[in-house]
Structure 1
Amino acid sequence: MSLLDIHNLNVRFGGRDAPPVVEGLDLSIDAGEVLAIVGESGSGKSVTMMALMGLIDHPGIVTADQMQFLGHDLLTIRGRKRRQLIGKDMAMVFQDPMTALNPAYTVGYQIEEVLRQHLNLKGSAARKRALELLERVEIPAAESRLDAYPHQLSGGMSQRVAIAMAIAGEPRLLIADEPTTALDVTIQAQIMDLLLALQRDQGMALILITHDLAVVAETARDVCVMYAGQAVEKGHIPTLFDAPAHPYTEALLAAIPEQGQGERLATLPGIVPGRYDRPTGCLLAPRCPYVQNRCQKRPALEPYDRGAVRCFFPRNMAPGEAPSVSAEHRLEVGGHHYAH
């Protein structure tokens, strides 16, 4: 059994009949693995992880056929049992460390609070462990930082403190939601190196949410590409980057500056559809350069040899490599239509 198993996750805001912001998502990860979730802003990446952490409040509604972590049902676990699990065995590093940290308390107090809650450490033992954690995340003059307030730290240091808090309970799964977004380029590289070193040293599973495909290529083994709340392609690195099957993945890769070779970067016209302006068929159809009449129907995510893709006309398919289409969609599509 995987460390984390999610099947058919749906997130809605405003009632069960409201359009979904995350739709039919399946994810799984094993101990020690690194999974990257990529896509534009508005693709549902962060909402997915907020649902996993139990941070979707009313009027949000989270449903799934299965959402299990370490054998616990995250859809039904409540109260003290959830608090023992979330923050200890599963932890999250948020995008903006300055909003993740409480400005009214010192760095040391906030780390010690996690240690009191999840490891029952108090007093000098908690302070000693807090210092060890700051040193573990490579904060210079760590002892003097214990009594500092968040506003007295730089963005990079604040993010390191947030990481220290996240790993304080020695989690089995760490979720990093755009952990380098608010940082300059040199600090971004340091933070990513730190996260990967921690992941390897502690044997954690790591879910990395990002829109930086260069980071994904260097860090992850598995990738889930999301668009408008759906997974549109899944696969392994480097295969998925060498031969993307979905037009959206192809467009993301074409927009990497290093791929442009001095030419004008490729762009995808339009924006990610909101929950109230979703097309009736393929959600990418209004922006897709390969759109055809059949795209007026909604494609399913279908497995094939190199992963899974949600497209009637996937790209870069070798002869005989087309996705295994369900009976429902075979009636709509026909096997001979798959290859471009």
Structure 2
Amino acid sequence: MSLLTLRNLSVRFGSPSATPVVEGMDLTLDAGEILGIVGESGSGKSVTMMALMGLIDSPGIVTADAMQFAEHDMLNLPARARRQIIGKDIAMIFQDPMTSLNPSYTVGYQLIEVLKQHQGLKGAAARQRAIELLELVEIPGAAQRLDAYPHQLSGGMSQRVVIAMAIACEPRLLIADEPTTALDVTIQAQIMQLLLRLQQERNMALIMITHDLAVVAEMAQRVCVMYAGQAVEVGSVPEIFQHPVHPYTEALLKAIPEHSLGAERLSTLPGIVPGRYDRPRGCLLTPRCPYRQERCQDSRPLLQAHTTGAVRCHFPLTEAPA
């Protein structure tokens, strides 16, 4: 049994008839597995995970045929029961560490609050555990850092604190939403290695949301490619990098600078992602797809099993006409 199952997940803002920002999302994740989610900004990567975390507030509307975590039905779980799971069994690292921490409280207060809420630790025991967590994420002078405020920490140090808070209760699933966005290159590499080490030591399932395909190729076991709120291809690494079967996946890989060495220009995908009011009737990639056919304009494809995993395309590249 999968640790996480999402089936036909959709997220709308406004009314039930509004255009979905996430549509028909199907996803599974096994215990201890690393899954990469990639796609352009606005493709619905973060919103999908926020729906799982229960962080979509009104006027947001979340629907699904299934949203299962372990033995829990996350869609119909009472708020009190959900709060016992979120932060403990499922934890999330958000994009910007500087806005993830409350500037009014010390690092120690915020870290101890997690331990108090989910593990019942108080006093000296909670403080000692907080120090151990900061040491685990390789923060020097951990005991002194507990009394620091977020503005006294660098971006990289703040991100390590956020990671310490996320792993404090040894979650079964850790979601990392572009955890290195605001950091310089050398710190990015350190944070990614830290996450990988923690995942391996604790056998956590890890969902890595990122724009960096090189990170996915190095860390993940499977990849979910999203476009305009839909999962368009799901496959294993390295197969999906060697033999993409969806035109959008192929375009993403061709846009990597290393693939354009010697060329006058980088490979690009013409056009823009469809907005809320200009979505095509058929496949959402149709206006930009070099392989489009008449059926693509009239019929919207479903995510279906393929020899490489799953693909949302009427004519996967392995079957595309010459």
For normalisation by structure 1, the TM-score amounts to 0.92
Question: Which stretch of structure 1 is more off in the superposition, 267-276 or 14-23?
Answer: 267-276
Cα RMSD, aligned residues only: 1.0
Structure 1 segments unaligned to the other structure (5+ residues) = 323-337
Query: Given residue 33 of structure 1, which amino acid in structure 2 is its aligned partner?
Result: E
Query: Given residue 272 of structure 1, which amino acid in structure 2 is its aligned partner?
Result: V
Equivalent residue for 1:33?
33
Contact 1:106 / 1:150 at 8 angstroms: preserved in 2? yes
Equivalent residue for 1:152?
152
Q: Aligned runs of 1:177-188 on 2, under 5 Å?
A: 177-188=177-188
Alpha-carbon shift at residue 290 of structure 1 (Å)? 1.8
- Alignment match of 1:306 (pick from 302, 305, 308): 308
Contact 1:251 / 1:268 at 8 angstroms: preserved in 2? yes
Q: Aligned runs of 1:65-80 on 2, under 5 Å?
A: 65-80=65-80
Equivalent residue for 1:276?
277
Q: 1:103 to 1:210 in 2, by over 3 A?
A: same
Contact 1:177 / 1:208 at 8 angstroms: preserved in 2? yes
Equivalent residue for 1:189?
189
Equivalent residue for 2:296?
295
Structure 2 segments unaligned to the other structure (5+ residues) = none
1:59 maps onto 2:67 in alignment: no
Alpha-carbon shift at residue 119 of structure 1 (Å)? 0.5
After superposition, give the CA deviation of every residue in 1:118-163 in whole Å (9 maximum; x if it has no partner): 0100001000000000000011221111111011111111100000
Query: Given residue 100 of structure 1, which amino acid in structure 2 is its aligned partner?
Result: S
- Measured in 1, the distance between the counterparts of 2:227 and 2:88 equals 30
DSSP-derived class of the 2:232 partner: strand
- Residue identity (%): 74
Query: Given residue 289 of structure 2, which amino acid in structure 1 is its aligned partner?
Result: C
Contact 1:314 / 1:339 at 8 angstroms: preserved in 2? no
Query: Given residue 285 of structure 1, which amino acid in structure 2 is its aligned partner?
Result: T
- Measured in 1, the distance between the counterparts of 2:17 and 2:304 equals 26
For normalisation by structure 2, the TM-score amounts to 0.97
- Between the two proteins, the alignment pairs up a number of residues equal to 320
Contact 1:239 / 1:306 at 8 angstroms: preserved in 2? yes
Q: Aligned runs of 1:150-229 on 2, under 5 Å?
A: 150-229=150-229
DSSP-derived class of the 1:20 partner: coil
Q: Aligned runs of 1:233-252 on 2, under 5 Å?
A: 233-252=233-252
Alpha-carbon shift at residue 339 of structure 1 (Å)? 4.6
- Measured in 1, the distance between the counterparts of 2:209 and 2:289 equals 24
Equivalent residue for 1:84?
84
Question: Which stretch of structure 1 is more off in the superposition, 299-308 or 85-94?
Answer: 299-308
DSSP-derived class of the 1:311 partner: coil
